[in-house]
Structure 1
Amino acid sequence: MTDPDVFRGRVPAALISAPGSGQGKSLITAALARLHRNAGRRVRVFKFGPDYLDPMVLERASGAPVYQLQPWMTGEAECRWRLAEAAAQADLILVEGAMGLFDGTPSSADLAVLAGIPAIPVIDAWGMAQTFGAVALGLARYRDDLTVREVIANRVASPRHGALLTEGLPADLTLLGAVPRHEAMTLPERHLGLVQAGELDDLDQRLDRAAAVLAEAGLDRLPAPVTFEAPRPAPPERLLAGQRIGVARDAAFAFLYPANLDLLRDLGAELRFFSPLADAAPPDVDALWLPGGYPELHGATLAANVAMGQAIRAHHRAGKPILAECGGLMSCLETVIDGDGESHAGFGLLPGRARLTGKLQGLGMHALRLGEDELRGHTFHHAALDGAPPARLFSEKQSGTGGEPVFVDGGLVASFFHGYFPSSPTLVASIFEGRFPPSR
């Protein structure tokens, strides 16, 4: 008998990780998803940790929304129930790790242990032979509570090279597949990571070609089945019932977690999407959300859309709520300076200028804490601010010092900090209701 208050299922599952960044795990995860989808399987993919760009590609590859799993940011209970919910419907679950298998606190390995799923490391074999086995052995033995039975070799030069890699493996580790060096196994990148999926007209063809490469390399075998079970979460209080929120969504503003959109709807809000690049004005709404993205790549187009800028300024002058995250913050300043040094007019809600720099300016897990409320999330940007007003609040890093400033001006709340809304529904509701910071 099925319990409606519990998610459960048994399905093949694996976490695709690596010794470090740049090993090729993102495209291999996407190609695996497309390979099994093309075989008629229902595939669900998750992304460990904060990321917007990889999930866009993974969603196209799998045909299903991609949610974040990160025990600190999303909470352990959410990690469990999202996987169990997917297992009740899917034929395969894949989780793409972040950085190296053991990097970060918590790490991708921590999630694998929490969820009871095996890890399959992707190891770049370029320039290696039997030493490949030593790397694989170290990953498999580093923690006793982590299961590693198979590894994937990437950028393999020839069948002979693949044979040497296999020879170097210990007896209890299997080479799932040797992926050759192939032009199909690349995707274009820019300063924040992969180019957005919507900007690649041939992305589906690229994914199909990559899937075919994996099939030829023998990676069409399913991982071992895993049993998932978790209670269904209680619905949140409908704190935003009747609230209409305009959500910017286009090539300039695209960094949107599906879980954040779900939470706003669960709180009772009606979401209306609009394009600051193409529309003359936002829809008739009570609040606006300008998420992160690439406004610096579209500075001229945004500046030329004078009517949109006027409408957003009118919304702000009326004291209505606006949440501006990262790229959204940049667009709210008077000036945005792109990577070529060209200046473009911003929306002018705050004084100062946002300037794209040649190096990373902020990276890591952060939280915005107000009393007992804690909105968790992250920061990742290459921009700096000049002439901005003093900040009233700052986010706090999960570890170390150096939080992001949070600018509050009337109904505007703007920061480089990206929040994961389900971590604090009450704090999120206070922003979109225009009562942030909430009085105590």
Structure 2
Amino acid sequence: MSASVSTLGDSGWLIHVQSVLAGSAWIAARIALESASVLVHCSDGWDRTSQLVSLANLMLDPYYRTFAGFQALVEKDWLAFGHPFSDRIGMPSVSGTSFDLTRQSSTGNLSSSPVRQSSGSFTPQTSNTSHAQNNYSPIFLQWVDCVSQLLRVYPFAFEFSSTFLVDFLDCVLSCRFGNFLCNSEKEREKCGIYEACGCLWAYFADLRSLEGSSHAHYNLFYDPLKHNGPIFPPAAALAPTLWPQFHLRWACPSESQAGELEAESRSMAIKFSELQKAKEAAEMKAKEYSVAMETLKAELRNEKRLSSSAVNLAQRASKESAAIKRAILSLGCRVNYTSNGDCTVDVESNPTGSQEKSIQSPPRKESDGTMERDDNSDLSVSVTVVSDDVSSCPLGQVCETLCPLRTRDGSCQWPSAGCAQLGSQFVGLKANFDAFDHLSIYDSYFES
């Protein structure tokens, strides 16, 4: 153990810390349990009063155990109350009425100071040195130590960690920020401290905003629902221990890591956060893949429907082609298919001297009773048949079988058709029932 730590123990530091904790717990208990009013006043009203009242507020109200509440508590019970930081901590004071402060960003190192030593500016007190030294007292440091003791006893009640308290004290003692310069609020306003120096609270807020809840100032064990009311430490818990993170960090670095569990928890929290981000990224990719698969399935189903429709159309076309082929063969024609898919129809021919009959469009009867041939008939098939005997021609057989204009005795009621002008509606080459529209009701289309 170093000499500085031994000297700290010989000074009765822990006894003073225990006295402050016990007095603050008594005040908090009287107010919360008995609804009593407590008057706190020390000899000067600036030292023990601020310690006891601010610590009692910390025990009574959970708001003061957050970052914003801790800032409000220090501003209210220490800075605005008039604690003489310059005299107690030994900070530079103002001599005379002139001053010159250098504006400095709050992002520098802890050893930098916003104070520029020039004539008429901040200078250490040289007059009455013995009196100034008698006013030195680590009152505020002692209070922060008491807060760390409560944090050790109630690790779930505070939003900030012990690391935050250490950094907070370092910034206060370094004179880097203007929040704790001078002895009162009046002196700080007179010297224009807030315009010339950086703000400690803004600096800490910027640090925490960069890393979020993973910053070292956040307490990983903080649970606002667990201690949402007053906390009253029992008498056994009021036996303080040495604050290792602050007092032993230079003398005994190994022993200062008393909060090793907190460091391990923070490392595990960082790893958990990284795994959580990786999980979210993997879930997003899986969701994208799922949407892509659904799209592909929909396209596959559409392709299957199109393929099934094409197969049905092909089967229907095949059946129609077979029916047309049978009809053409029934006329004594021959169907030839080429390699490129073309189809030709050859009419079987007989020896020379045979009789030719061709299928043509039937004549159209005009309104005056005369017959006129329609050259633009919509019957699109013309077949030439060569035969020796019309009666033995397949067309004649089809005519006798299918023609509705034939009577029972075999005579044709449409003699102008010539039996060769049957049209495709009778032989099945192309169904064209519009040809019957040329007939008149007076042509005895229907039997009696």
> Rg larger in 1 or in 2?
2
TM-score range relative to shorter protein: under 0.3
TM-score relative to the length of structure 2: 0.19
Which structure dedicates a bigger proportion of its chain to strand?
Answer: 1
